[in-house]
Structures are given as structure tokens and as C-alpha cells.
Amino acid sequence: MNRSNGGPFDRSITSGSDFLQLDIGDAPVGGRAEWLAGRLRLAIADGRLPIGSRLPATRVLAGELRVSRGVVTEAYQRLAEDGHVTGRGRAGTVVVAAPVTSAPASPRPPRPDPVFTRPPGADVFDALRATPARIDLSPGVPDLTAFPRAAWLRAERAVLGTLSASDFGYGDPRGAPALRQAVAHWLARNRGVRVDVDEVVIVAGVAQALGLLAQVLHREGVTEVAVEDPSSLGARQHLHNWDVATPPIPVDAEGIRVDELRAQGAPAVLLTPAHQFPTGVVLGGERRRELMRWADAGGLVIEDDYDAEHRYDRPPVPALRSMLAERVCYAGSVSKVLAPALRVGWLLVPTAYRERVVEAKRYADLGNAVLPQLVLAAMMGSGELERHLRFVRRRHRRRRDAMIAAIAQHLPGAVVHGAAAGLHLLITFEDGVSDTELAAATLARGVKVQPLSWHGQRPGKPGLVLGYGASVPTDIAEGIAVIADVLRRG
């Protein structure tokens, strides 16, 4: 018998698949898995494989291509690590990444995008989000392809199976008791904050928490809340909306300068002490003690526990709320753990302000939607949220590493800040670079970033705030290369 004919890997037989018209003969020797992964990425990017489409079973595709099943399995695994696909058990391997719409090439030199040609207004982030780009390195967004859909659906079914008719009525403006209890347990386990369920108010994210606090404080005659400089432009905008001024207090390697906070005289301060936005600085131990002395003398701290869950190269940092509860308003959310679209967060308010905050929440919206609260409470109680956090932390760390490596390769002159935690890096340049012009030219090339100057109120070094949580490593590397090319071209 001639064993050379008809064998499973006989190269004399045409080896191809109707699926995407794949021809294994195009693959380089020794690089079949990477070639296959690249062809699948391209099909996802150009829309031939839309979200929700199922890839062929590894055994089937391997048979059609006449390769070992391990080649296809490795290619699928690379796509899963990039966030393009996810395995769903018996449902197979499903596409979860959106196709990329490339901006048409223009023979004319790129012009600055309108979003960067004027000082940022109230709608600047809406405008930036609506601006198309091939690669989005905006900060503040986790890996949205990793959202635990199956776990969420299981929890939702379980919740719906236990609800009575009356549970579909109006809820408590403070939030569903089940979620408030789950948040109290979550904060005790993960942030070192011991809190009674009655102290928890469920809000529509940290943005609403800031708005409620600003409203209540302004009515009490507090017209200034000091902020770190630089600090989140978005957070300042929410305070300004209620006519609360935001005097800037400089930040150094140990965090906010408490001596300058004391000299400025503002009665309250907004801080991101666990991972300062955008510099990534952690509020140092001596500064924390100094700040607590300032608060104990009558100052009020608003603690935005920004990015506290995402840490890679340092031990956890306790929340300020655990040190002086009655002088700290503490805000957190699931936006950076699950997804901003959920609009679920929590606010711990000192006794003196709690009833007025609840009143403001009642008149704002009568309370958050109850069903998502109950589903989230079930996920917190079952351990699903912690499992998800461990999973995305590993993925975010790989993406952080990819960005650091790309910066070292393409932007060796840039200084990297805040790499030990979070979902973004800050890079700064020497004077002479306009970060808004750089961001505009980069956007014209299809890469979306935020200039550091947006987030500062005082003059400082130019820089870019670069998010890595929602981008795959290949896109991160390409985005950094584009920034470097724009800089070289001047």
C-alpha cells in the first residue's frame, strides 16, 4: 500500500477551507498558527467576522486545512488573549471584538481635529468618544470584551426566579438593600473599609456621586473643593456644574502637597489617593497622616477610589475612608472592573451629610434601576466578581507590559509614570512639545489619545494620557509607533 497518498498531511493534496477562503499553502513554514491568527484578526477587523459569529470547531478547521489540531487551537488562543474571541463551552468560540473602520486616506496633510482646536468644554469627552479612530488609547476603560456575559446572565436568571411582583415597583433611593450589603462586604474584603449597610448609598457611578456631593455642599455654603493638579478634567466639570470652584493643589512624588492645601484654605478636597489620576502616584504614608490631621481639624475629604482594584507591581493601599470615616466621603464603582455602561457605583457619606445626599439622590432619579443592582449583588455574593477581577487583572497587566515595551522601543525619550497600577500610563516629554497638537495629529492618523494639558490647571510638562485596558497588544504597539512617527515628523 502506498502510504504517501491520502495521508492526513500529504501536501500533494489541496489543503484549504471554504471558511474565509483560507489556503494553508500561503502560511510560512513554522508560522502556521500566527498566520492563521493574523487572517482571522483581519476578517474581524474588516467585518467579515462580525460580533457574535462562531468560528469553526478546531477539529473541523484543522481537518479542512490538513494541519494538526494544535495549530488551530494555538491560533484561537492568541485571538482570545488579544480579546478578539472568547470560548463559550458548547457554544464554541465566538467573536466578541468590534470590526475596525479605517479612516480614508487623504492626500492632503492632516488638519487638527476640531476637538483639539479649542479649550475643552463640557461636551469634550462626548465629542472625543464620537470621533472615529482605528485605535483608541483613551484612559479609564477596562477590557470590555472580557465582560462576563455568561455569569451575568446566570445571575440575572437566578434573580428573576426569586422576585415577587412587588419587587418590580419603585425601589429605595438609597439603593437595593441586597446590593448595599454586598458592597459593604466587598469594601471590607477588598479595600479594608468597615462600613454598615446603612452608610452605603448606591449611585449612577462616581460622576453622579460627585454631582450629589457638590449639590449638597454648595447648599451648605461650600463653594470651593480643592483638587489635585493635574487631576481629572471630567471630575472638575461635574463640580463646576454645581458652581463649585476647584482650586488646584500641586502633586509631587508623594501625592498632594498638604501644606499647600492648608495654605489655600479650601474647606474640602477631592483626591484619588490609591492611584492618582493621571500621574499614578500613590499618596505616601506621611502625607496620609498629614492629610488626616487636616481633616480632623475640620477639612472634608472626597475620596475617589480610582483604579484601586487594578494593581500589578505593588501591594494594596488602604482607603482613606478606613482611617477617619466621619471626615471622608468615599466613592467607588464597577466602571473599571466590569463596564462603565452599567452606571453603578456607591457612596459612603459621613453622618452629617447622609440624609441630604439621599434627598438629592431621590430628586435626581428616585434611585438606580433595581434589577441591575440585584444582579450585581448576586455576582458579588457568589464570588463571580472577584474571579472576573483576577482574570482581567492578568489581561490588563499583559497589555500594560505591551505598552511599556512599545514606548521603550519607539519613544525612548518619553518618561513613563504610573506603571504599577491602573488602566493607563502617563508619558511626559521635554518642553517644546504641544501635547494638544500632538494628540490632534495622532488622531488624524487614526489613534485616539488625551493630552495631559487637558487635566492640568497650572502650566506643566507636556504629555499624553494613554489607556491600555481596552486595546489588544498589537493595537497598542501600532498606536505608540504612530505617536512616535508624528513626533519625528514634527
Q: How far apart are CA 335 and CA 158, in angstroms?
A: 23
pLDDT at 148: 94
Q: How far apart are CA 385 and CA 380, in angstroms?
A: 5
Helix axes 233-240, 205-219, angle to 10 degrees: 40
pLDDT band at 28 (very low <50, low <70, confident <90, very high): confident
Question: H-helix or E-strand containing 271?
Answer: strand 268-271
Q: Virtual CA dihedral for 200, 303, 457, 419, nearest 10 degrees? A: -120
Q: How far apart are CA 459 and CA 452, in angstroms?
A: 11
In the predicted model, is pLDDT for residue 97 greater than 50?
yes
Return all residues near 34 (Cβ < 8 A) that are at least 6 apart: 75, 78
The pLDDT tens digits of the residues spanning 420-443 come to 999 999 999 988 899 999 999 999
Q: Is 85 helix (H, G, I), strand (E, B) or coil?
A: strand
pLDDT at 216: 97
Question: H-helix or E-strand containing 330?
Answer: strand 328-333
pLDDT band at 11 (very low <50, low <70, confident <90, very high): very low
pLDDT band at 90 (very low <50, low <70, confident <90, very high): confident
In the predicted model, is pLDDT for residue 195 greater than 80?
yes
pLDDT at 329: 97
The pLDDT tens digits of the residues spanning 277-286 come to 999 999 999 9
In the predicted model, is pLDDT for residue 310 greater than 80?
yes
If you write DSSP's letter for every residue of 121-141 in order, what string do you get? Answer: -TTHHHHHHHS--SEE--SS-
| Closest C-alpha to 357, from 242, 212, 221 | 212
| Closest C-alpha to 43, from 15, 17, 21 | 21
Q: How far apart are CA 440 and CA 114, in angstroms?
A: 8
In the predicted model, is pLDDT for residue 7 greater than 60?
no
In the predicted model, is pLDDT for residue 3 greater than 70?
no
How far is residue 335 from each of residues 261, 305, 489, measured CA to CA in Å? 29, 12, 37
Q: How far apart are CA 294 and CA 276, in angstroms?
A: 19
Q: Is 288 helix (H, G, I), strand (E, B) or coil?
A: helix
| Closest C-alpha to 135, from 365, 444, 362 | 444
pLDDT at 367: 95
Q: Cell triple for residue 452?
A: 495631559
Handedness of CA 258, 263, 267, 271 (dihedral sign): negative
30-34, 127-131, 454-458, range with greatest mean pLDDT: 454-458
The pLDDT tens digits of the residues spanning 359-400 come to 999 999 999 999 999 999 999 999 999 999 999 999 999 999
Q: Are 402 and 476 in contact (CB under 8 A)?
A: yes
In the predicted model, is pLDDT for residue 102 greater than 60?
no
Q: Strands (DSSP E) along 61-136, which ranges?
A: 85-87, 93-95, 135-136
Phi and psi at residue 280, in whole multiples of 5°? 80, 5
In the predicted model, what is the mean pLDDT of residues 229-246? 97
pLDDT band at 105 (very low <50, low <70, confident <90, very high): very low
Q: Are 130 and 138 in contact (CB under 8 A)?
A: no
Q: How far apart are CA 434 and CA 173, in angstroms?
A: 46
Q: How far apart are CA 333 and CA 307, in angstroms?
A: 10
Return all residues near 125 (Cβ < 8 A) that are at least 6 apart: 234
Question: H-helix or E-strand containing 214?
Answer: helix 205-219
pTM above 0.85, yes or no: no
Mean confidence (pLDDT) of the chain? 90
Q: Which domains does the chain have, with CATH numbers?
A: 16-95 (1.10.10.10), 114-146+387-489 (3.90.1150.10), 164-382 (3.40.640.10)
Q: Are 362 and 354 in contact (CB under 8 A)?
A: no
Q: Cell triple for residue 335?
A: 466602571
pLDDT band at 99 (very low <50, low <70, confident <90, very high): low
Q: Cell triple for residue 133?
A: 479612530
